[in-house]
């Protein structure tokens, strides 16, 4: 695979000066530069004018601005208001057209680039060729994985073997049936070889932005065989074998939440094509029909029911449901969550792995996701030195009110830690229509001594320890429980 010969950042382009007659003329009146090429013109010759490729608007505040070399949407230009209009790419033009192309930001280059497009202008009509790849097009072997479970459209294609450590100016998905689909930055082109598009079923992406899908609608049911990446070195086409795009449809899988343990819950499947051969699964310990899910010994938590097409034509569909309990199988002891009396280590581990959020002195922190804050470790240990960004979660005072919410547990664990005493309790999250809950706080005792032993929980300042009395008293804490379905 070729390495990038040159990178053209927006800052570098701005630093160059536009000359009415560039000094790099080669072969008569041909000159080289860079210019802002709208997506429609950039792709017109690449996909043989199959359709006009629109600009793309971003629902995020800053990602569309990240167009410097090496950044998320490097090589693009925008309208300054959140819409990416196209790419800034090397071109070959006649000296007579150079001044006319000033409206497109034409900027002279000192030498002939490795790859460029031939551009001419007549009145308001811009004509742009395919990429002229002076080093020759590169064909490489790679692979791809198709997912129909994505927040960014109907299909996500994760490609390996794509040209890395270089900026992508365009991507074209090629199918066995002869289809060529031009992709745009941010809505379709992401980093690390991740590509996504809508075919008309999912019409909004994760941030609520409307997805453009008309030109991709006929990709459903097609087979992707290769993906072409356009860089400053020219074309690199990655052979990905045969990757079928299962037909999407506006169906739904809905399973009702229910109680953990042994029982059953209703299942509703709607919108499925008549020829969909349903293969329905949940997991070990579950028995499923088209209308009901039965289970035995199921622990609290979130489960997924998946429906696959035995015929292989259609995309799988899935739905989540929660099995809940009002039991709290953990207690606080010596800086960590451990199994409460009457519960097993497996019960405690299940609660810990299902922790959704942790609150500290009134501030809630997500426990899952890319912006999560890991306050409770996998073994139940509370990290008293953890940070959220640059800020300490625990202020070092030794006085903390900690609330722990876990998926599948309708009651919330509350831990009160004082500099002289520790109290733990459970607080119900019962709704107003449920029977009134009662919360019983455990009695606390005064500390007899202070220590800074190795097992002391750390404060918000690294290297500082909470007095050992906190730990000694924490061990004396007790719990009260009540039952309420989530």
20 with 53, same domain: the answer is: yes
pLDDT score at 421:
53
Are 352 and 371 members of one domain?
yes
1 pLDDT more than 70: no
Boundary residue ending a domain (133, 164, 192): 133
Count of domains for the chain: 4
Q: pLDDT tens digits for 71-129?
A: 999 999 999 999 999 999 999 999 999 999 999 999 999 999 999 999 999 999 999 99
Confidence bin at 399 (pLDDT 50/70/90): very high
Specify whether 319 is located in the same domain as 334. Answer: no
Among 116, 133, 150, identify where a domain stops: 133
- What is the percent of the chain where pLDDT is above 70? 80
Verify that 337 and 470 share a domain, yes or no. Answer: yes
172 strand-pairing partners: 182, 228
Residue 46 contacts residue 182 (beta carbons within 8 Å): yes
pLDDT at 205: 81
Mean pLDDT of 12-35: 58
Domain-embedded: residue 382: yes
Q: Is there a single domain that holds both residue 341 and residue 468? A: yes
Structure tokens at 390: 């640059």
* Both tokens assigned to 32: 């080289």
Q: 5 lies in a domain?
A: no
Q: Is residue 37 part of a domain?
A: yes
> Are 121 and 150 within one domain?
no
Q: Are 473 and 422 in contact (CB under 8 A)?
A: yes
* β-bridge mates for residue 243, sequence order: 224
CA dihedral 462, 466, 468, 470 (to 10 degrees): -140
58 & 114 share domain: yes
pLDDT above 50 (res 459): no
pLDDT at 164: 94
Last residue of a domain, one of 202, 223, 244: 244
My answer on whether 162 and 213 are in the same domain is yes
Helix (H), strand (E) at residue 84: strand 83-94
Percent share of the chain, pLDDT over 90: 73
Range of the structural domain that residue 259 is part of = 252-324
| pLDDT tens for each residue of 230-254 | 999 999 999 999 999 999 999 999 9
Backbone angles phi, psi at 368, to 5 degrees: -135, 155
Q: Same domain for 239 and 263?
A: no
176: in domain: yes
Q: Is residue 92 part of a domain?
A: yes
One domain, residues 271 and 335: no
Residue 207 is predicted with a pLDDT of 77
Q: Which of 22, 42, 29 is nearest to 109 (CA)?
A: 22
Say yes or no to pLDDT of 24 above 90: no
Distances 284 to 71, 290, 304, 352, 404 between C-alpha atoms, Å? 44, 17, 12, 21, 28
Among 254-268, 340-354, 362-376, 428-442, the least confident range: 428-442
Question: Cβ of 397: how many Cβ atoms within 10 Å?
Answer: 13
In CATH, what number is assigned to the domain containing residue 267?
A: 2.60.40.10
Residues 8-21: what's their mean pLDDT?
38
465 and 411 both lie in a single domain:
yes
Task: Kindly state whether residues 381 and 414 are assigned to the same domain.
Answer: yes
Point out the least confidently predicted range of 39-43, 205-209, 264-268: 205-209
Confidence of residue 177 (pLDDT cuts 50, 70, 90): very high
- Name which of 55-69, 304-318, 378-392 the model is least confident about: 55-69
Specify the pLDDT at position 479: 34
Residue 277 burial class via C-beta count within 10 angstroms: exposed 0-12, middle 13-18, buried 19 and up: middle
The answer to the question of residue 3 being in a domain is: no
Q: Which CATH number fits the domain that encloses residue 235?
A: 2.60.40
Query: Per this entry, what is the length of the chain?
Result: 486
**Contact criterion met (CB below 8 Å) for 426 and 433:** no
274 within some domain: yes
134 closest CA partner among 164, 98, 181, 92: 92
How much is the pLDDT for 445?
Answer: 30
Q: Is residue 482 part of a domain?
A: no
C-alpha pair distances (Å), 296 with each of 258, 281, 285, 324, 343: 13, 15, 6, 14, 18
The DSSP annotation for 231-291 comes to ETTEEEEEEEEEEE-PBP---EEEE--EESEEEEEEEEEES--TT--EEEE--TTEEE-SS
pLDDT tens-digit series, residues 411-420 = 999 999 997 6
User: What are phi and psi for residue 39, nearest 5 degrees?
Assistant: -50, -45
Of 200, 206, 210, 196, the closest CA to residue 147 belongs to 196
Task: Name the pLDDT band for 473 (thresholds 50, 70, 90).
Answer: very low
């Amino acid at each position: 695979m070729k390495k990038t010969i040159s990178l053209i950042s927006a800052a570098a382009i701005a630093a160059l000066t536009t000359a009415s007659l560039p000094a790099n003329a080669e072969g008569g009146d041909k000159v080289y530069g860079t210019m802002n090429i709208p997506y429609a013109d950039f792709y017109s010759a690449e996909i043989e004018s199959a359709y006009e490729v629109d600009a793309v608007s971003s629902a995020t505040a800053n990602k569309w601005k990240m167009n410097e070399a090496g950044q998320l949407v490097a090589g693009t230009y925008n309208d300054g208001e959140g819409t990416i209009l196209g790419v800034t790419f090397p071109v070959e033009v006649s000296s007579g057209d150079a001044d006319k192309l000033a409206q497109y930001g034409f900027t002279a280059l000192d030498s002939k680039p490795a790859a460029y497009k031939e551009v001419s202008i007549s009145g308001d009509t811009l004509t742009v060729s395919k990429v002229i790849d002076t080093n020759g097009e590169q064909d490489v072997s790679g692979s791809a994985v198709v997912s129909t479970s994505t927040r960014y459209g109907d299909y996500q294609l994760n490609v390996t073997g794509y040209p890395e450590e270089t900026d992508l100016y365009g991507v074209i998905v090629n199918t066995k049936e002869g289809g060529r689909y031009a992709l745009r930055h941010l809505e379709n082109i992401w980093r690390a070889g991740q590509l996504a598009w809508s075919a008309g079923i999912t019409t909004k992406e994760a941030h609520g932005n409307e997805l453009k899908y008309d030109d991709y609608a006929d990709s459903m049911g097609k087979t992707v065989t290769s993906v072409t990446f356009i860089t400053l070195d020219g074309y690199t086409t990655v052979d990905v074998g045969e990757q079928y795009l299962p037909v999407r449809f506006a169906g739904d899988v809905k399973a009702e939440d229910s109680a953990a343990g042994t029982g059953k819950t209703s299942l509703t499947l709607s919108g499925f094509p008549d020829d969909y051969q349903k293969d329905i699964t949940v997991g070990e310990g579950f028995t499923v029909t088209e209308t009901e899910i039965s289970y035995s010994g199921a622990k609290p938590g979130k489960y997924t029911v998946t429906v696959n097409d035995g015929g292989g034509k259609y995309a799988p569909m899935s739905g989540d449901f929660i099995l809940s309990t009002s039991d709290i199988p953990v207690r606080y002891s010596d800086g960590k969550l451990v199994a409460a009396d009457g519960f097993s280590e497996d019960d405690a581990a299940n609660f810990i792995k299902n922790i959704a959020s942790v609150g500290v002195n009134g501030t809630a922190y997500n426990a899952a996701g890319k912006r999560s804050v890991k306050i409770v470790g996998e073994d139940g240990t509370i990290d008293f030195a953890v940070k959220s960004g640059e800020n300490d979660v625990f202020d070092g005072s030794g006085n903390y009110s900690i609330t722990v919410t876990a998926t599948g547990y309708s009651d919330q664990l509350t831990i009160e830690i004082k500099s002289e005493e520790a109290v733990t309790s459970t607080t119900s999250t019962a709704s107003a229509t449920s029977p009134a809950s009662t919360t019983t706080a455990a009695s606390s005792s005064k500390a007899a001594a202070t220590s800074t032993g190795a097992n002391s929980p750390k404060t918000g300042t690294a290297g500082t320890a909470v007095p050992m009395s906190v730990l000694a008293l924490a061990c004396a804490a007790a719990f009260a429980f009540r039952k309420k379905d989530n």
